[in-house]
Amino acid sequence: MDWKNTVRKTLDYMKKPIIRTEYVRTSAYPGLEGMFEGRNVLVTGGTRGIGLAAAKAFHACGAFVIVTGRSAEKLREINESAASERFYAMEWDVADIPGQEKKMEELDGVFGGGGCDILVNNAGTNRNEHGETAGSWDGVSETEWDHIVNTNLKAMYFLIQKFAKKWMETFPDKERHIVNVASSSGFEPAVLPYGISKWGVVALTEGFGRKLAPYGITVNGVAPGPTSTFMASKMDDAEDLSYQAIPRRCYGVPEEIANAILFLASDYGKNIVGEVVRADGGFSLTVTGGQ
């Protein structure tokens, strides 16, 4: 018996990722069924990936959900396929700051008198204005910087500002939740607009978490690591989730990030304030040190 060869094969097998595709693709956090009945949820950038997964999970748990996006075609597909009056897609470029007020009025027209209860700031990009992945630091243009930072950070800041002011003035006694989608990049050294913008998301999550908590507005964030989405240049429904650089040995999937978002937006997350939860399969642990 070639014991050395047997040991080698065993070790090679142990290094292979364990991909539990049936497990990771659950659509709602266990125990939250019905938790969001009567709640109105806005998910920006909700036409695919993490945003769409979160929207579907909120809907499955009873919420009235509106998703936003810039692609009229994708929005039309969502509205045509949604077999529910509690799921609606709205065209909205959140980076258009002057247009936010008008869109919020349109939002209230769909939601009705109660307005929005939960804001999920998910809209983001790591690509320049031409849809190309941002290049090296020495090739970043001002227009590329503006496109990425305005979408990821500036739009989020002013949405929080507008929603919080409205909630405090109009519904001062009603509890609200804001969940910002950051990134594990927001905890790493950064020289590209995407990483720098996500640092900003972490900072404003902590800042607004402290500032708005006294008014019944709970602000938290989720920081995904490599996730099987278009932004990571991997299809949302990819079957091969292998990724050896992550301790878990596989990509995350949008549904897993959605689970974390739901938890933070639920009553279970009421005493968590200004936190950015790293939902990255341990990826950040490989960046910050240790072998």
Residues acting as catalytic residues: 194
Whether 99 and 159 have beta carbons less than 8 Å apart is answered as: no
Beta strands (DSSP E) in the chain are 40-43, 64-69, 87-91, 118-121, 176-181, 217-224, 276-279
Whether 183 and 198 have beta carbons less than 8 Å apart is answered as: yes
Does residue 227 sit in helix, strand or coil? strand
**Rounded Cα–Cα distance for residues 59 and 40 (Å):** 10
Q: Which residue in this structure is represented by tokens 């409205």? A: 166
Task: Count each helix (H run) and each strand (E run) in the chain, helices first.
Answer: 10, 7
Whether 116 and 107 have beta carbons less than 8 Å apart is answered as: yes
**Rounded Cα–Cα distance for residues 41 and 255 (Å):** 17
Which residues, in sequence order, are bridge partners of residue 87? 65
**Rounded Cα–Cα distance for residues 27 and 118 (Å):** 18
Q: Name the residue type at position 231.
A: M
Residue 217: name the closest of 259, 260, 160 by CA: 160
